[in-house]
Chain A
């Protein structure tokens, strides 16, 4: 039952093959069984069982709230959940219980979804490994697959198996792992520079980053307001489309959401790529790109071409500037957004009370990890009066050029871009931590953050069907943008079949 698609489970619930409570208990059982993955920071067992019970009542009366009624979901721990601790994996917010639900959470609950818990992440979503949170790193469920273990044994005899687990990618690694481990059917992540797509790629699930403004950010604890979007992680594209349909649309509480009404998202059953023009950005053929990813990339391109799609090389000339530009804009907004964490209204407060300033300093030193403090420091540097023109304004100009790159490509007749999400497959934790967070983020966000800066485009990560083809375990995925209803269907058809 847990391996089925959302639609299938929904049908099973409607037909009474399984009750929401049974489904919830199955997931709770798996959550406990996979506790070692560290995917969840908080498991909201009581709340979930109560919600399941209510869902069950609705099904009994025949008043189901739709496809999501009774469906177990998980939420990244940087979305506010009323009455449930929301920590951002930081000492700063340990014990913080928001009094309100993020709009996306409320929408899921309004549709009858059952909230299993809050998932792990890098502190305040700053990272690309889900290794830098105060609750410890998230382990990639695929580390424990037969295939991966077999491979490790061949390579390194005598190595401690336990220390060779793979990272999930990040920062929404907890959500990706939760979905990959079948502990829920869908999870919310957030995506600022690739934080949904990157762990989706590493964990072999669908990671979907909606266009900026399509889904409300109200209640999402911000990293970079102008780039953050709630992301969706599921095990198949159709599931993501269903969840997106529930979440998309204007929110009066978020002035940056689109005003126009949103049409429902449905995937077509037939895939016809004859009229499709697929762009391959030549700048994405980076030297660091692993040979495996590279071969998958060309394999996918060939697949489209053989089915009649037009595949052409395109150029996004400002790509090489995007990661540094992202760094300036990201840290500047981080410096600003983190200013509210002063220990006064909520969150951690130190014991020092010599002066207000001393209290701020100690609270923030104790509350934030090195990564967060480093970004605050550099962000404040970029925003200083004497630096603002040279850094922030310049970065904004470059951001415009990067956005224009995408506009130009799509105006030239290209329907969709086919790119890798990550440079390589998921790496073992011990290897990952050899580099610091900043270096890692710069490397891992290379293919993903540019669209966050461009803003308007829809991006999706599609999993390799590793369940069916064991040799494709070392998952790599592809981003497509912009994705339309038809395209999503086409892509799924192609990759899965």
Chain B
């Protein structure tokens, strides 16, 4: 029996994974029988996903995968989309439910201005055309956590359309081999979130929590311009950063503020698109990539074995690493869309169309929002590269961790150390410590000021770099102490007293005549041994370059 051969693979490496587990799963592209093919319409991109196939009995057949995404981002707002209840994660069940949220008869929706502004901001940041008139619709289905029996959404005329999102994927083995890609954005629509059902199987009960019911969502529909899990995950990651930069969503996947459904199909190049499946409720970037790649391979396998792909909804089992058909979504739903009669059309203005004397509380000016858009992640990264001569991959890494960039910038403000030094300390040592202990930047025991002070000590050679690492460890352990305090307590400062250093060197040389002889006989490495001895004698408090100079002088005299 032949060993299973991977017939499809994607070269892109995701940033998210690149810095977490280093990614080493892309060495299989060159197997015999695999061919590479460029994807339609993206010839300008340097390196393309590798689309491969096995020779089938009927001749050469390659597979191309097509991935589109529907992303639900919970809007970061004080109150819900159509009611005044507060929005909080992890509040006691059913504590944030207004009469409208519980769909009490006679209650009516009142649109939350903040949610509209968030949608406009997001639309502008994603290069969308903002519709000055958009409409709300009812989408009907019976579900226990959907109290009204319908969801208010924007099916016919959404608030923003025709945008694009640029994202980067790592295409080579080195992290510096970055390729920028673009995915088109079909539309952004405002809609209500549902409540949550908690199934208590043993007691055959379902418990309903309506805290989330009616929270504003931005549904961002990405066109099927992606071809593998890596690309999809990178696009989602970039969108996440944009939403966070805008403040329109906290976009925390673990807390369900960003949820992704993926539409996946495979086909032979040049042929019509295949039947697609939808994988629902992907709530981490890693599972998103895994689920998509699994589904692509599953579809290819099914088709090559003469089976058909069903247009179905599937879920991803992260424990088994595979997708499964969802039981309760088997029957095809007819959502019986209908215009929402309780909400007039949503009208937006720009400066040109603003009615004279309009109440600023009653109108939304797109131009006004555009002028106040904050800096987007791509601009921030470009600035970092320009300003600090940073490598692109380092600029990605700084933005990838919540709060890390701010931490970096605060350190930079307070230190005289070189930006490269700061970057290296923040990304290697500081981030390393955080990862090791599974902490977020906010939870760090080391403040930016402390790190800045430490780097200053290092910069003016008051301590050695190995001492600096010791100080950092101490800072991490004992909150509240300053680096200077630690340095003086642990006597870690470099010996600046030239005479004292000379004395130590002298003593060491006298104590090890054999090593001195070795040096004089021409063994260049022997000096390192002397340096090590001096370092030991000074408890690592001597600057190695200074020691080396003294030793060299003494040995040559």
Contact = CB atoms under 8 A, between A and B. Distances in A.
Interface of A: 79-80, 86, 88, 93, 96, 98-100, 102, 217-222, 224-226, 252-256, 259, 332-333, 335-336, 338-342, 344-346, 353, 356-357, 360, 380, 383-385, 388, 392
Nearest to A381: B336
Contacts, number: 102
Interface string B146-171: 01111000000000000000000000
Given A100-B99, A225-B341, A356-B144, A340 B105 contact: yes
B337 A388 contact: yes
Interface string B206-228: 10100000000000000000000
B110 A252 contact: yes
B106 A356 contact: no
B138 interface: yes
A222 B342 CA distance: 10
A103 to B, nearest CB: 10
B136 to A, nearest CB: 10
Contacts of A98: 104-106
A100 B334 CA distance: 34
Contacts of B107: 218-219
B515 to A, nearest CB: 84
B343 A93 contact: no
Given A100-B104, A345-B102, A388-B336, 7 more contacts: A80-B104, A88-B105, A98-B105, A218-B106, A253-B110, A356-B144, A383-B336
B144 A344 contact: yes
B391 to A, nearest CB: 52
Contacts of A338: 149
B37 to A, nearest CB: 37
A99 B148 contact: no
Given A225-B342, A226-B341, A332-B338, A339 B144 contact: no
B362 to A, nearest CB: 8
Contacts of B150: 336, 339
Contacts of A100: 99, 104
Contact of A255 (B99, B105, B109, B334): B109
A384 B334 contact: yes
Contact of A80 (B105, B144, B337, B341): B105
B142 interface: yes
B300 to A, nearest CB: 31
Nearest to A251: B108
Interface in B313-369: 334, 336-338, 341-344, 362
Contacts of A88: 105
Contacts of A253: 108, 110
B357 to A, nearest CB: 13
Which secondary structure dominates chain A's binding surface?
A: loop
B86 interface: no
B526 interface: no
A381 to B, nearest CB: 9
B104 A385 contact: no
Contact of B337 (A339, A344, A360, A383): A383
A342 B111 CA distance: 25
Nearest to A353: B204
What are the nearest 7 A-B pairs in CB distance? A339-B149, A383-B336, A225-B341, A226-B341, A221-B105, A219-B106, A340-B103
B106 A222 contact: yes
B106 A344 contact: no
Nearest to A346: B104
A256 B345 CA distance: 10
B535 interface: no
Contacts of A339: 140, 142, 148-150
24 contacts: A79-B106, A86-B105, A88-B105, A96-B105, A98-B106, A100-B104, A217-B108, A218-B106, A219-B107, A220-B106, A225-B341, A225-B342, A252-B110, A253-B110, A255-B342, A256-B341, A333-B341, A336-B138, A336-B338, A339-B142, A339-B150, A344-B147, A383-B140, A388-B337
Contacts of A86: 105
B105 A256 contact: no
B484 to A, nearest CB: 59
A340 B102 CA distance: 9
Contacts of B341: 224-226, 256, 333
Contacts of B106: 79-80, 98, 102, 217-222
A255 B111 contact: yes
Nearest to A225: B341
Nearest to B97: A345
Q: Which of A217, A353, A356 has the most CB of B within 10 A?
A: A356
A402 to B, nearest CB: 17
A96 B411 CA distance: 61
Contacts of B140: 336, 339, 383
Nearest to B362: A259
A93 B105 contact: yes
B525 to A, nearest CB: 78
A99 B99 contact: yes
Contacts of A259: 362
Interface string B103-122: 11111111100000000000
A254 B99 contact: no
Contacts of B342: 225, 254-256
A218 B144 contact: no
B496 to A, nearest CB: 72
Contacts of A256: 341-344
A475 B326 CA distance: 62
A335 B336 contact: yes
A256 B340 CA distance: 11
Given A255-B109, A345-B147, A356 B336 contact: no
A385 B110 CA distance: 28
Contacts of B204: 353
A249 B145 CA distance: 35
Contact of B336 (A344, A357, A384): A384
Q: Which of A252, A336, A383 has the most CB of B within 10 A?
A: A336
Contacts of B108: 217-218, 253-255
A256 to B, nearest CB: 6
Contacts of A333: 338, 341
Contacts of A384: 334, 336
A46 B395 CA distance: 72
Contact of B142 (A79, A218, A342): A342
A357 B342 CA distance: 28
Interface in B153-201: none
A80 B336 CA distance: 28
Interface string B121-139: 0000000000000000010
Contacts of B337: 383, 388
B338 A342 contact: no
